Amino acid sequence: MSHPKRIGILTGGGDAPGLNAVIRAVVKAAHTHDIECIGLEDSFDGLIHPEKSRVLTPRDVTGILRLGGTVLGTTNRGNPFAYPVNTDGGPVDYSDLCMKNYKEMGIEALVVIGGDGTLAIAHEFHLRGVPIVGVPKTIDNDIAETTMTFGFDSAVAFATDAIDRLHTTAEAHHRVMVVEVMGRYAGWIALYAGIGGGADVVLIPEIPYDLTKVAARIRERDAWGARFSIVVVAEGAHPAGGSRTVVSEGSAHRVERLGGVGELVAVELERTCGKEARYVVLGHLQRGGSPTAYDRVLATRFGSFAVDLMLRNEYGVMVALKSPDIVAVPLERAVGHIRTVNVNGDIVSTGRNMGISFGD
């Protein structure tokens, strides 16, 4: 069986530094093997509105390796199987339309770059007969079956730099500085940035916290003369027996928005420790900007390997890092669940050995 001559590529879900590096790698590798690449705009919307698609040549991807965002655009509200529309009838199923357009466009296989939600949609299309190769993306680093996603290293680098900057002002004013980072239901960004930035306290969703323990750690530091403390809080962290802090509740078609725990922690620590506390929310700054060299290389390896898989007609799989190799894993194993921090693993115990309090 010969390999496809025309493939589609799309990016879905929240953006992450390195998306453009994957697009570039797929286009270049495809070109090397005489495969035409069609860029679909705004995730699966590109299959609903095929007129927005365009041929991508190496000329079109020149210079995008270092760019954040995605030249194809993205959305995290466009599930074609349950598309949100402003009518009383509820969401619409556009999947048949997507299948029809996919065939009419002459696309023979699809590269889908996305997180858990986008890859789950990709898996549904695969079950409907579309040959798909998934590429895992998220700054949260929480996709199952891969030890790393691109975007994570860039987010951690930014958060670590922010912690470095907070250190100097915290020390000058003898304050507690609380920094809230992203990561959804996993504490990877908080943990890595906390260790990389030399934080004193790291609160992650996997270890419910008790603020009296955190306050004790801060007082202990004051007692030996440090007089300032850096607290890193993952947006999904929550107190033992308590719940996560959300900006807006989720619905059937929209995931909940996390945020606000940093403020709660700062207010409570100021009250219990009797010293000034300030909080900073790093938010989407963690998703913007250039990918680090590590993310550029990982993204390029992922994109190149995705094309290699298509040359072998291997579909229904996701490219993954199983250090030191890039491998293919079945999409069905990767979707529907996330990879969280192992609380008994070496990274947490490294943190504990450094004197970091996890609030437990």
- Active-site option among 15, 140, 142, 153: 140
CB closer to ligand F6P out of 257 and 333: 257
DSSP 110: E
> In Å, how far are 55, 191, 193, 207, 329 from 204, measured between CA atoms?
43, 7, 12, 6, 28
- Where does this chain bind ligand F6P (CB under 6 A)? 14, 76, 115, 138-140, 182-184, 235, 257-258, 287
Cβ-contact 223, 170 below 8 angstroms: no
Q: Active-site residue 88, yes or no? A: no
CB closer to ligand F6P out of 218 and 282: 282
- Please give the span between the terminal C-alpha atoms of the chain, in angstroms, as a whole number: 57
| Least distance in angstroms from the C-beta of 71 to ligand F6P | 18
CB closer to ligand F6P out of 70 and 138: 138
CB closer to ligand F6P out of 285 and 327: 285
CB closer to ligand F6P out of 37 and 335: 335
The C-alpha atoms of residue 242 and residue 229 are separated, in whole angstroms, by 24
Exposed (0-12), middle (13-18) or buried (19+): which is 196, by Cβ within 10 Å?
middle
| Least distance in angstroms from the C-beta of 140 to ligand F6P | 5
∠ Cα 232 233 237 (to 5°): 155
| Least distance in angstroms from the C-beta of 151 to ligand F6P | 8
| Least distance in angstroms from the C-beta of 283 to ligand F6P | 8
CB closer to ligand F6P out of 102 and 152: 152
| Least distance in angstroms from the C-beta of 292 to ligand F6P | 17
From the list 9, 5, 70, 11, the residue with the least C-alpha distance to 31 is 5
SS (H, E, C) 288-356: CCCCCHHHHHHHHHHHHHHHHHHHCCCCCEEEEEECCEEEEEEHHHHCCCECCCCCCCHHHHHHHHCCC
User: Which residue has the closest beta carbon to ligand F6P?
Assistant: 182
> Please, what's the b/e burial string for 289-327 (b: 16 or more CB within 10 A of its CB; e: otherwise)?
bbbbebbbebbbbbbbbbbbbbeeeebbbbbbbeeeebe
Query: Three-class SS of residue 204?
Result: coil
| Least distance in angstroms from the C-beta of 204 to ligand F6P | 13
**Residues β-bridged to residue 322:** 325
- Residues with catalytic roles: 140
